[in-house]
Structure 1
Amino acid sequence: MAEATAAPEVFATEAAEAFVEEGHGGAPTHAEPELFGLAPFQVVSIAMFVLLLIAFFGAKVHKTIAGGLDSKIAAIKDQLDEAKQLRAEAEALRNEYAAKIAGAEKDAEAMLANAQHEADAILEKAEADSKAMVERRKRMAEDKIAAAEREAVEDVRNRAVNAATAASRKLIAEKHDADADRSLADKVIAGI
């Protein structure tokens, strides 16, 4: 049991020797960690200072970025509003032109129907006028023919009368003398 009660044996290493400083009676001391030659509290102070700088200037940058984004959002919103307004105007214009086109198509159909009606009326009038003109010319021709016939008949009558008168004079001159004329005149007077 003597062996069991003995303290465990600790092996000394070179690392353990590094913690031993002279002048303290050979007792080991704890070495403080360092970063770039700064003690831990100095590193923490610098980190806090940097964090405060970032927070201070970062808040201003954040506000600047937020302000820039807000202005961009407002500009985009204005552009969207303008686009909506332009779209509404374009739709209104499109509807107006669609109505005008529909009206123009109706007007064109009405004009076409009116033109067809006028063309039919003009054609009917032209047919009636041509019939009337043919009838007038026919009447004029018939009148000319009738006038020519009357003139011809009149001419024939006049020639017949002239011929008859000439023949009568000749016959009367040959067959009647002064005594026959007196007896004829007496008969006529007695008959009255």
Structure 2
Amino acid sequence: MPAFLTSHFYNLSEPELWVGIGLLIFIGIAIAAGVPKLVAGTLDARAAKIQSELDEAQRLRAEAEALLAQIRAEKAAADIQAREMLAAAEADARIMEAEAKVRLEETLARRQALAERRIASAEAQASAEVKAAAADVAAQAAETILAARLQTQKSDPLLDAAIGQIGTRLN
């Protein structure tokens, strides 16, 4: 049973009565001074501050999500661009390789043609030298044979002139 319902609580000599009266006076003064409004205002201000912080956190979260989506889109675009650049580089490398092969084949063909011309020139020069040497040998042999026959015969000036011209005409 509560103490304020008992009869001895309302005795003026009881300290509980005075504590109760003091409490009621204090509560009355606090109400008259506007403490409840002040406490409610402080609590409302704190609630508003917390709500604004929550709103700011929500706004920051939305910005972060938008930024994350933008970064992901940029990354996807960069990946696509990198793949396209790699494909273009590979295509360029294949083209350059084919062009290099063509240039190499052309260079080899030119060198082969040059070597064949040099060989043909060397063969022609060697053939001319062999023909000249054969003509010289034939002229010397003819001169020797004719000289041996002529020694046994008398000398003919026309024959001597013809023998002298054989060496120059064969060259």
Alignment TM class, shorter chain as reference:
0.5 to 0.7
Q: Is structure 2 residue 27 aligned with structure 1 residue 50?
A: yes
Letter in 1 for 2:150: I
Aligned to 1:83: 61
C-alpha separation in 2, matches of 1:157 and 1:34: 169
Alignment of 1:53-132 (within 5 A): 53=30, 56-132=34-110
Instruction: Work out the CA distance in 2 between the residues paired with 1:184 and 1:170.
Output: 12
Between the aligned partners of 1:75 and 1:184, the Cα distance in structure 2 is 135
Which of the numbers 117, 142, 146 marks the counterpart of 2:124?
146
Deviation at 1:183, TM superposition (A): 10
- Unaligned segments of structure 2, at least 5 residues: 1-5, 13-17, 162-171
Give the TM-score normalised by structure 2: 0.67
**Distance across 1 between alignment mates of 2:158 and 2:112:** 62
Corresponding residue of 2:169: none
Percent of matched pairs sharing the same residue: 16
**Greater helix fraction, Structure 1 or Structure 2:** 2
Alpha-carbon offset, residue 94 of structure 1: 2.4
**Structure 1 residues 181 and 78, CA, compared in 2 at 3 Å: closer, same or farther?**
same
Distance 1:54 1:78, change over 3 A: same
1:61 shift after superposition: 1.8
Which has the bigger relative contact order, CA under 8 A and spacing at least 6? 2
- Between the aligned partners of 2:114 and 2:70, the Cα distance in structure 1 is 63
Distance change (3 Å), C-alpha of 1:153 and 1:53: same
Shift of the alpha carbon at 1:60?
A: 1.4
**Equivalent position amino acid for 1:99 in 2:** A
TM-score for the superposition, normalised by structure 1: 0.61
Which amino acid is the alignment partner of residue 181 of structure 1? Answer: P
- 1:164 to partner: Cα distance: 2.1
Change beyond 3 A, Cα 1:45–1:183 = closer
Aligned residue type for 1:128: E
1:16-35 correspondence runs (5 A): 33=7, 35=9
Distance 1:76 1:184, change over 3 A: closer
Check 1:183–1:54 CA distance in 2 against 1; reply closer, same or farther (3 A cut). closer
User: What per-residue deviation string (whole Å, max 9, x for no partner) do you get for residues 125-172 of structure 1?
Assistant: 223322332232233223222322221222222222233234334433
* Residue aligning to 1:160: 138
Return the index of the structure with the highest Cα Rg. Answer: 1
Q: How far apart in 2 are the matches of 1:77 and 1:127?
A: 74
